[in-house]
Amino acid sequence: MAKSKKPRLETPLAIDPNSRATVSGPADPKQLVDSEDDLTAKMAATQQLAATLPFNANKALEYDSEAAIHPEPGVSIEPADPIVGSSTVQEKNGSDKVGSGGPVIGENKTNGTLDRVRVDSSQRTLTTNQGVPVADNQNSLKAGLRGPTLLEDFILREKITHFDHERIPERIVHARGSAAHGVFQCTKALGEFTKASLFAEVGKETPVFVRFSTVLGERGSTDTARDVRGFAVKFYTDEGNWDLVGNNIPVFFIQDAMKFPDLVHAAKPEPHFAMPQAGTAHDTFWDFASLMPEITHMLMWAMSDRAIPRSYRMMQGFGVHSYRLVNDAGASTFVKFHWNPVAGTHSLVWDRIGAVDAGRPSDAQSQSGQLLRRDGAGGLLHRACRPRHRFFERSLVGGTHSFLR
């Protein structure tokens, strides 16, 4: 289908719109060199200058060894108009963004105070990267009132993508922790719930890698901070790798994942002096919490003894996500996964944390390393002292099943 031609204007414009194209210059430069439009004149004069030198007369000198040592001046041509050598002529085109188009010569505005770049954005509309207005960046798009989050929510995807690409080392979550290789052993077959091979038979062992960590602190922060503890397990099954991510507290600060970047930004240390470390005792977090009634349940847990576990082997683990287990018949069951420590759930005494930090701020890491080294050196630990957890599946319909020792 042929493109329709735009009607030619009876009165020519003062500015040639063709000169703003970035793909080519004027078709007939001879007639446009003296154009009143600076951009058109610059492009036309540049083409005219190039036409006066159709080939490089200096090319032959590149192969002369003597010329390489004692080069002769090459051929050069002076442009008829100095505008050809200018880097840009846009300064004379005034607009609401660039200004009047008549800058004060000899004055550098960047040497002034920062007042020149301060703006009031209170009446500005929040937009995506593509300029689409955003009416709500706190609630993701769902299928129904309580349905699953939809991937078609491009505002959610953009916000999470920005957060995931933040690579500021001191602001990364779960930067401080310990990890260990181990074995998952099934103690009860769960064929009635799932066809996953790691739950198929009693005694089946699956290699795992377990990570324990604090959430807010930097890499060198203390292990005894009042904070949520991360609890993640990677199962190396014969059907592929399975990552089960969780925390040592069964509830969470938010209900909608779209608020997660805002939660982390609010909980991290104040950016101007990087304090407090590994904690939320500052106004930014509590401003966020005051606007989020749903956070109250989690705050009760965070202020309890569960937020100061005695060691990584003495804290519970709760899978964050709900899973759908499907058996061979195609029947499905929604479940949550829990971990209970064999050594029992124990916490530090708040008044003793200062003494622990003073003597050994890396207390949890030190305990984990010593226990694993001693256990691997000859099994010298009592069974209850080894880092061991029992794995539970809790059906959202009802019932609890233990299938790990």
Q: Which of 93, 174, 282, 297 is catalytic?
A: 174
Q: For the stretch 262-282, what's the b/e string if a residue is b when 16 or more beta carbons lie within 10 angstroms of its beta carbon?
A: bbbebbbbeeeeeebbbbbee
Closest residue by Cα to residue 391 from 342, 318, 339: 339
Contact by Cβ (8 Å): 108, 116: no
CA–CA separation, 177 and 362 (whole Å): 9
Closest residue by Cα to residue 389 from 403, 401, 373, 378: 403
- 283 in helix, strand or coil? helix
Contact by Cβ (8 Å): 40, 34: no
Length of the chain in terms of residues written: 405
Please indicate whether residue 58 is annotated as part of the active site: no
Q: Is the peptide bond before 26 cis (omega within 30 degrees of 0)?
A: no
Helix 260-267 vs helix 283-290: crossing angle, to nearest 10: 150
CA–CA separation, 241 and 238 (whole Å): 8
Contact by Cβ (8 Å): 390, 328: no
Question: What does the DSSP assignment read for 245-273?
Answer: EEESSSS-S-SSGGGHHHHHHHHSPBTTT
Q: What angle do CA 362, 366, 372 make, to 5 degrees?
A: 150
Helix, strand, coil tally for the chain in percent (to 5): 30, 20, 50
Write the CA distances from 74 to 36, 82, 219, 266, 387, integer angstroms: 34, 21, 60, 63, 78
CA–CA separation, 256 and 41 (whole Å): 57
CA–CA separation, 360 and 344 (whole Å): 23
CA–CA separation, 339 and 210 (whole Å): 12
Please indicate whether residue 174 is annotated as part of the active site: yes
Q: Give the catalytic positions in this structure.
A: 174, 247
